[in-house]
Amino acid sequence: MTSSRRLELLAVLAAAAFLWARPACAQAGTSAAGAQQAPAPAPLQAGFQDGFFIQTANGDTRLNFGMVAQADGRFSVDDPLPFTNTFTIRKARPTFTGQIMKYFDFKVMPDFGGGGSVLEDAYVDIRFSPKFRVRSGKDKTPIGYELMIGDGYVLFPERSLVSSLVPNRDVGVQVQGDLSATRVSYAAGVFNGIPDGASSSSDLDTSSAKDLVGRLVVTPFVSSRAPHRPIGGLGFQVGASTGRQLGALPTFRTSAQKAYFSYDSGAAASGLRSRVSPAVFYYYKAFGGYAEYVRSAQQVTRRGVETEVANHAWEATASYLLTGETASAGIVRPRSPFDPTSGRWGALQLLARYATLTVDQDAFVAGLAAAGSSRQAQSFAIGANWYPNAYIKVYGTFERTMFDGGAANLPAENVITFRTQLAF
């Protein structure tokens, strides 16, 4: 061994001995002075609060574990059957959210439903204050009201035709915040840009152009001094986007995933795309409801000819909790959680929805629609939801969708859907 190697080894051993001996020396010195040792760090805390959590003693760093799991049965009552009657795992989404060092939040949510795997959400927030935070990563695009309702809290098993005209999850950067004592909330950002009704799959943009997106939600009559007044649950929202898209165009499907409109294979997005979605919502005692409108306009080219296609849709949804719980766009908490030995059965909710989507007539005149496409779909759905407790939900719905216009008149679709859901 060379002299330099011996010196290096001795230095390492001396440093190790110093680090090992320092706590003992400090303890001896403290004992000689008659002082108390420094208290050991407080242990981690763990529990369940609308999800499992583990956190530091001061709460500045926290990990939450949640889950959305949905087992469906989807059956047609038509003859002949337009699709295969089936049971399926609609969603299986373990969800990891949390906080790092007080001011940094995160969420990671994969989905293993439908026999595949995809990363649905993955983002980091920097919280400067309740009025301003910056979110980077993949999240829902803040435009449509119904689309922004949490996946576990949507009233029907599937979202309405209206959500076919707004983008779902995309990658980008946005700012968010709550203003004026939670009466006003906003979100605005820049996203890669995806077709209507789609989610980013590769999480890479195919074009250098980006979408500018914004959303404003106002509940002007909410008041902490009078939280139960009838007008307090009335609110309004508007979302919008603008940007340029090249290439992919959407396909419109029913809740049973039957395609009723698609563009011709020779058609492609070729320029400016804009969306606007105003909505009104109202929650009071056991009643909850909302109405939403969406207009989506896109430049489309085929064989060198450009056409602006402006599609629009609207819906109205209403619900009522027969057992008297408070309705909201979030968790329903039964007054009497399921306990059959005590004669307690949870909460029961009735609901109804009407929605319609109309494709621009110019899409057919210009030959942009694929063969067999319908110009309009109208859907009426009724259902009942049973909540044994705040985290289990059982859906039962019937939906009838009728088609009109276009090159062919498709037969009406009648679907019964059952779902058992775990969400926390």
pLDDT in tens, the chain (424 residues): 444 444 344 344 344 433 343 444 344 444 444 445 666 666 899 999 999 999 999 999 999 999 999 999 999 999 899 889 999 999 999 999 999 999 999 999 999 998 899 999 999 999 999 999 999 999 999 999 999 999 999 999 999 999 999 999 999 999 999 998 779 999 999 999 999 999 998 888 888 899 999 999 999 998 877 777 899 999 999 999 999 999 999 999 999 999 999 999 999 999 999 999 999 999 999 999 999 999 999 999 999 999 999 999 999 999 999 999 999 999 999 999 999 999 999 999 999 999 999 999 999 999 999 999 999 999 999 999 999 999 999 999 999 999 999 866 789 999 999 999 999 9
Q: Which residue(s) pair with 283 in the sheet?
A: 288
Q: Are 301 and 273 in contact (CB under 8 A)?
A: no
Render pLDDT for 273-327 as a digit per residue (tens, 0 to 9). Answer: 999 999 999 999 999 999 999 999 999 999 999 999 999 999 999 999 999 999 9
Nearest to 419 by CA among 70, 154, 159, 83: 70
Token couple for 240: 């919008």
Render pLDDT for 136-145 as a digit per residue (tens, 0 to 9). Answer: 999 999 999 9
Whole-number pLDDT of residue 396: 98
Q: Which CATH number fits domain 45-423: 3.90.1150.10, 2.30.130.10, 2.40.160.10, 3.50.50.60?
A: 2.40.160.10
Instruction: Bin 95: left if φ > 0, else alpha if -120 < ψ < 50, else beta.
Output: beta
- Please name the residues in contact with 45: beta carbons below 8 A apart, sequence gap of 6 or more: 54, 55, 56, 57
Token couple for 63: 């990990």
Q: Are 222 and 244 in contact (CB under 8 A)?
A: no
